[in-house]
């Protein structure tokens, strides 16, 4: 499964999300696999959406792109692939960090 951005750019975006909202990476992975408790799930989804909305557009390779909105959507897709890859490495081969932010 291919990605729009390099592994390094995706990792940079994940780290920026984590800096904006510590623990958000773990929440994203948890919501990918857990059966949601509706009240907690809604709160977690709100936190994820807020972090993604604020952080991704601030990434230099997104904000300086010819079409920032399209670049943001592509990065969102790649971050989602990274979440799926961290939860189940066999599900994707995007080369992401296997759940580690290193």
- Rounded to 5 degrees, φ, ψ at 98 are 60, 30
Give the global pTM. 0.79
48-97 confidence digits (pLDDT tens): 999 999 999 999 999 999 999 999 999 999 999 999 999 988 754 444 45
Cβ 82 vs Cβ 10: under 8 Å: yes
Identify the CA nearest to 49 among candidates 28, 64, 65, 35.
Answer: 28
Q: How far is CA 14 from CA 37, 38, 62, 92, in A?
A: 25, 25, 14, 17
CA distance 98 to 102: 10
5-50 confidence digits (pLDDT tens): 999 999 999 999 999 999 999 999 988 887 777 777 888 889 999 9
Domain ranges for the chain, please list them.
7-91
């Amino acid at each position: 499964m291919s990605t729009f951005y390099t592994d390094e750019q995706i990792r940079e975006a994940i780290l920026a999300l984590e800096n904006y909202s510590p623990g958000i990476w773990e929440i994203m992975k948890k919501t990918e696999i857990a059966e949601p408790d509706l009240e907690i799930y809604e709160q977690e989804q709100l936190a994820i959406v807020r972090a993604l909305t604020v952080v991704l557009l601030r990434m230099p390779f997104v904000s300086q792109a010819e079409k920032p909105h399209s670049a943001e959507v592509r990065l969102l897709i790649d971050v989602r692939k990274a979440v799926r890859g961290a939860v189940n490495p066999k599900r994707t081969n995007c080369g992401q960090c296997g759940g580690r932010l290193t």
